[in-house]
Structure 1
Amino acid sequence: MRQRLLPLAALVAVASLFSSCASKPGINVLSKNSIKKSSSSSGWALGFGTTESLPIAAPSASVMAAASSHTKDKHGMPVYAFSERNRLVRTTAYHPNESDHLVYGSSNATGTPLRYTNRVRSAAADWSFYPVGTVFRIAGLPYLYVVDDYGSALTGTGTIDIFTPTGESMNQWGRRNVEITIVQWGSFTRSKEILAQRTGYQHCRSMLANIVRQRPDLASTKGGSSNKG
C-alpha cells in the first residue's frame, strides 16, 4: 500500500474505462451470492507473489492537521466532504479464502474478477462514502486502487478494505492509517442500481439509503430487489 507514477496515458486509459462502465445503461448485475469461485488456482489474470514489501509513506502534516478538525466516524477517523481528495483513511485488508468471502471466491461485488496486479488493485468500501468505480492512490505505493467491492463491517465508516491474495499478505497489511488521494470518483448511479437489487441485506439497505439521502434525484430510478447480498 511506493511513489512510482504511471504514465499519464495509462492513467487516462484507466479513468476512461471506469467512466464508460458507470455510464452504460442496463448493466447486467449479479447478486453477490451467485458469484462463484473461479476454477483456476489463483482466479486472477496475472500472477502475484505471496509477499511483497509495502513501505507506506507517513501521512503529510497538512493532511493530519486537516483531519483533526473533521467530524469523526465510529473508529475516530475523519469524515470528509466529496470535494476533499486528500484524506487520512483507516485501512484493513481481506483475502478470498476468508470464511465470509468463500462463496464469492475471486469475484468482487460487481461480478467481475478482483484485481491484484502491478498497476491496479481492488478495494472494498461503503459505497455511500466511496461509490463503486472510485479510483485512488495510497501515498508511498505505485498502484491504482479501485473500489469494486463492499463489506458489511465497512458500512457507516470511511474505512477501506484492501484486497490481498493470501492470508499472509492480509496479515502483513494489518490495519493502517494511510494518506490517500482520490484520482476519480465512482458512480452513485451505478452503486444505487446494484444495491437496489440486494435489499434483503441490512448493509446494502443502509448504503442505499445513504446514497439516496445524498442524491435525492436517484430515489426515483428503478431497481429490482433481491434477498442475496
Structure 2
Amino acid sequence: MGLACASANGEARTRFDGIRTTAYTYGADQNGSGNETRNALGKPLKTGKLQSAAADWSQWPVGTHFRVVETGQEYVVDDTGSALVGTNTIDLFKSSARAMNNWGVRHVTIEIIEWGSPEKSLDILRDRTRVKHNREMVQKLEKVLAT
C-alpha cells in the first residue's frame, strides 16, 4: 500500500472514512519507549487543542495534521509505533490512562488539514533502520518517492 494521501486517480485525498484508531498515553508500557513523555522527534508529546498521534509514516507522513470528525479533536502525526506499520491504524495520544481506556478502538472519519512530508519522514527514519518497523517504513517510502 502506498501513501494514504493519494487516491486511485492520483489526487490528494482529504477525507478518510473507517480509519481504525487506538489510543496510548505516557509511560513505556503504553508507548513502547524508554522516554515516556517524548515523541519520535524527541519532543514532548502534544496535549491540548493539537495532540500527538502515532502512525506508519509511509502511510501518514510525519507532520500530517488531521481532525477526527466525530469528536472535532485535532492531531498531528509526530510519533511512530512498531505495531502500526502496515495496519493503517492511527494511535491517538491521550493524557491519562482513563482517557486511553475510554477511547479503546474506534473506527472514525478523519479530515486532513495539512499533509505531512514523506521526504521528511524518510530523512528522519534513515538513521533508525536498526529497528525492523523503521526499516519497513524506509523501504516503503523509498519506493513511493522513487516513482
- Tell me which interval the TM-score lies in, with the shorter structure as reference length: 0.7 to 0.9
Residue 37 of structure 2 aligns with an amino acid whose one-letter code is S
Contact 2:21-2:105 at 8 Å conserved across structures: yes
The equivalent of 2:41 in structure 1 is 110
1:208 and 2:146 matched: no
State the SS of the aligned residue for 1:153: coil
1:153 and 2:83 matched: yes
Q: Larger Cα Rg: Structure 1 or Structure 2? A: 1
What do the CA deviations read for 1:16-66 (whole angstroms, capped 9, x no partner)? xxxxxxxxxxxxxxxxxxxxxxxxxxxxxxxxxxxxxxxxxxxxxxxxxxx
What CA distance in whole angstroms lies between the structure 2 residues aligned with 1:145 and 1:81?
16
State the SS of the aligned residue for 2:22: strand
The equivalent of 2:9 in structure 1 is none
Residue 128 of structure 2 aligns with an amino acid whose one-letter code is R
State the SS of the aligned residue for 2:127: coil
1:181 and 2:111 matched: yes
TM-score when normalising by structure 2: 0.88
Structure 1 residue 206: Cα displacement: 0.2
Query: Superposed, which structure 2 residues align to 1:1-229 within 5 Å?
Result: 80=4, 82=6, 83-88=12-17, 89-99=19-29, 101-117=32-48, 119-216=49-146
Pairwise CA RMSD of aligned residues? 1.8
What CA distance in whole angstroms lies between the structure 2 residues aligned with 1:186 and 1:158?
16
Q: 1:153 to 1:102 in 2, by over 3 A?
A: closer
Task: List structure 1 segments (4+ residues) > 3 angstroms apart after TM superposition.
Answer: none
Give the unaligned 5+ runs of structure 2. Answer: 7-11
What do the CA deviations read for 1:65-111 (whole angstroms, capped 9, x no partner)? xxxxxxxx8xxxxx955222211200000111242535121110001
Q: 1:81 to 1:176 in 2, by over 3 A?
A: same
State the SS of the aligned residue for 1:91: strand
Contact 2:32-2:81 at 8 Å conserved across structures: no
State the SS of the aligned residue for 2:128: coil
- Of structures 1 and 2, the one scoring higher in RCO (CA 8 A, sep 6+) is 2
The share of aligned pairs that are identical, in percent, is 41
What CA distance in whole angstroms lies between the structure 1 residues aligned with 2:5 and 2:116?
15
Bigger fraction of residues in strand: 2
Aligned length: 139
Structure 1 residue 140: Cα displacement: 2.8
TM-score when normalising by structure 1: 0.57
